Amino acid sequence: MARHAAPAALVTGARRGIGAALLERLAARGPAIGTARPPLPAESPAEWLPLDVTVPADFDALGRALDERPLSLVVCNAGIYPDKGESLADGYPPAMWAATFATNVTGAFLTVQAALPSLQAAVAARAPARIAILASQMGSTERAPGASYIYRASKAAAVNLGRNLATDLAGLGIAVGIYHPGWVRTAMGGTDAEIPVEEAADGLMDRFDTLTVETTGRFLTWDGRAHPY
């Protein structure tokens, strides 16, 4: 096992949007690792590791690359929203369901699984060990305005995943937070979205900083409000 002076933070899907903004902020604080599909950025203050969250073998490689390096924060950010504008009558094909759940749900779970030894190493070093699941208000079962069935279902599953991980990992000293990042002006959110990337990233950083085992399993907005499940 490699030895490192300080625990790092890891962000999946960190090439652009919210993931890129979070990685930039984390790298300004200390060691930070971004993941993305190759080719990886050539110049960056962060370290980069290749990861396609839909390819199970990539997680074996991620685990080997981490080599139990202590991680104080793992941000499961990678996600897709392919079903905007799909028709209920003839849209939402099975392949779209499979690809979305592989990215938004299975990918998040496999990220946590691959990073678990590194999170436990942080606990052993008496450092924080935190997991952030970026879900969405569209995953709330209490909000049901219709449409976008695949994305909504995948984000509802992500909320459920985070809640159950929080239960199982609390005894290991690892905290799990679930977050609605806001409706953000990114390629996914669109130009009509409510808030800029910078506001979402700053708010999420505040949420990560205050996440503890005592507050584990909560579903919060980027600005700290409790979100309905």
What is the tens place of the pLDDT at every residue in 201-211? 999 999 999 99
Report the domain count for the chain. Answer: 1
Residue 210 token pair: 């205050």
CATH number, domain containing residue 163: 3.40.50.720
Q: 177: domain range?
A: 8-221
Residue 229 lies in a domain: no
Residue 227 lies in a domain: no
Provide the pLDDT for residue 59: 98
Q: Which of 43-47, 67-71, 156-160, 192-196 has the lowest mean pLDDT?
A: 192-196
Residue 16 lies in a domain: yes
Whole-number mean pLDDT of the chain? Answer: 94
Provide the pLDDT for residue 208: 98
Question: Residue 34 in contact with residue 13, Cβ under 8 Å?
Answer: no
> For residue 1, what pLDDT band results from cuts at 50, 70 and 90?
very low
CA dihedral (37, 40, 44, 48) positive or negative: positive
**Residue 3 pLDDT exceeds 60:** no
Q: In what order do the strands lie in the sheet with 219-221?
A: 47-50, 32-36, 8-11, 71-76, 130-134, 175-180, 219-221
pLDDT of 64-111, one tens digit each? 999 999 999 999 999 999 999 999 999 999 999 999 999 999 999 999
Q: How far is it, in rounded angstroms, from Cα 181 to Cα 222?
A: 5
Residue 226 lies in a domain: no
Q: Pick from 5, 16, 45: which is nearest to 28 by CA?
A: 45
Residue 224 token pair: 């700290």
